[in-house]
Structure 1
Amino acid sequence: MTGQPVLLYDGDCGFCATCIGFAERRIGLRARPVPWQFADLAEFGTTRERAEHEVLWAEDGRLYGGAQAVARLFLAAGRPWSLAGHALRVPPLRWVAHWGYRLVAANRHRLPGGTPACALPSKRR
């Protein structure tokens, strides 16, 4: 897998879709956004369980998840966003970013664009 990076996200989640729209309009998303529900996850070397757990950035045969996927999104966008991307890769900000990502992911149904369905496991949606 080479070429344009791919951003795998939860296509059933309103908050995730809102974030993708924001990234496309305001950040300059330089990846192909693909709902994980429509992706061949094995092609990316991942599983449904991981894709349900976090956003994934696939590039040049490597896979980054959660806060590090967001860092890659920022890095690819160029300045000024790439400065945030670099910062999110370095401890202790990396650790804070991981914690913050987990907090947002656990509460995405409460955030703008989120719906009660965002809180349900995908098997129950």
Structure 2
Amino acid sequence: MQPAPFADSVTGRAPVLIYDGDCGICTRLAALVTSRLRRRESDFAVAAWQDIDGDSPGLAAYGLTWEDCDAAAQWVAADGTVSAGQDAVARALLAARLPLRPLGALMLLPGVNTLAGVVYRWVAANRSRLPGGTPACSLPADQRPH
């Protein structure tokens, strides 16, 4: 098996995009990323944090808690660097198929990143009201399943 193009040369571990599996919007977007945006399955993994959290050592292996993952999508680079929210989305786009990579780079630019953060936080705060939102999305963070 060839190492992933974005895999760390020391660890051989590919990056992973971690999302909220209880959120319908997040789940649909993760399915889109999995089926359409990755060039190859080995480029990066896509996983619901609930699926990772049940395994040992779970999220701690990525330096994350369920609270981190409940608050925002997470991108864990091959070297272990963590990006959250709009930065996680931008990093995933940078690792995606060519037409989307420039959008990822654009999202990381000062000013654009700030605007992307405002949009990301608005969507996250209103996800229960948006198409695809689930009842779990409307619960306060401390009452959501984990």
Give me the TM-score of the superposition, normalised by structure 2.
0.78
Inter-CA distance 34–122: structure 2 relative to 1 (3 Å threshold): farther
In the alignment, does 2:97 pair up with 1:87? no
In the alignment, does 2:70 pair up with 1:52? yes
Aligned to 2:89: 70
Count of paired positions: 125
Show structure 1 runs of 5+ residues with no match.
none
What's the secondary structure of 1:42's corresponding residue? helix
- Report which of the two has the higher share of helix: 1
Give the deviation of 1:50 after TM superposition: 1.1
**Cα deviation 1:1-45 (Å, max 9, x = unaligned):** 642211111111111101111222332274211111222111111
Which structure exhibits the higher relative contact order, with contacts defined as CA atoms closer than 8 Å and separated by 6 or more residues? Answer: 1
Is the Cα–Cα contact under 8 Å of residues 10 and 16 in structure 1 kept in the other structure? yes
Give me the TM-score of the superposition, normalised by structure 1.
0.90
In the alignment, does 2:22 pair up with 1:4? no
Whole-Å separation in 2 of the counterparts to 1:37 and 1:13: 11
Is the Cα–Cα contact under 8 Å of residues 59 and 65 in structure 2 kept in the other structure? yes
In the alignment, does 2:128 pair up with 1:109? yes
What's the secondary structure of 1:64's corresponding residue? strand
Whole-Å separation in 2 of the counterparts to 1:5 and 1:36: 14
**Cα deviation 1:85-125 (Å, max 9, x = unaligned):** 00000011010011110001011112222122212136344
Whole-Å separation in 2 of the counterparts to 1:2 and 1:104: 34
Is the Cα–Cα contact under 8 Å of residues 2 and 61 in structure 1 kept in the other structure? no
% identical aligned pairs: 41
What's the secondary structure of 2:128's corresponding residue? helix
CA RMSD of aligned residues (A): 1.7
- After TM superposition, the structure 1 = structure 2 runs for residues 25-44 of structure 1, keeping only pairs within 5 Å, are 25-28=35-38, 30-39=43-52, 40-44=58-62
In the alignment, does 2:143 pair up with 1:123? yes
